[in-house]
Amino acid sequence: MNIIIKPRFGDGIFNYLISYVYGIYLPKGTSSITSERSNNLWLIAIMWKATLEKAMTKSQIPKEYKKIEKNLSTFQGQLNISKHIKHNLFDKSKFYCNYRKLTMNTTINQTIRYTYKLLEKKGIV
């Protein structure tokens, strides 16, 4: 299955639109959309990289909270009383706490990093 992008007003407007939307520079005549058997993977890679960089600069990378239970020397979050008594009955210098930590290690971010490494390995990025 091939996806062919053909602009209505010619190659020049297509390059201008892509440049405007993604904030990248595409000189006139670099688009290979005129030939029927062209390989536009380079264009998809450039668009993907531009979108990734834009998301990273605007802090739009998805984050989520993960629940963590630890025996800490400083109090953080909520005290887990049953585990605190169990682990720290004789050691009064620690607190067994439950807290939530904001992390960027989500499934979508792992996929993005994996894709970036694949593109890097192929020399596209």
Give 53-71 pLDDT, tens digit per residue: 777 777 777 888 999 999 9
Is the pTM higher than 0.95? The answer reads: no
Paired residues of 68 in beta bridges = 99
Cβ pair 17, 46 in contact under 8 A? no
Q: Which of 62, 81, 17, 66 is nearest to 43 (CA)?
A: 17
Reported confidence tier of residue 125, pLDDT bands at 50, 70, 90: low
Per-domain boundaries in the chain: 11-62+104-122, 68-103
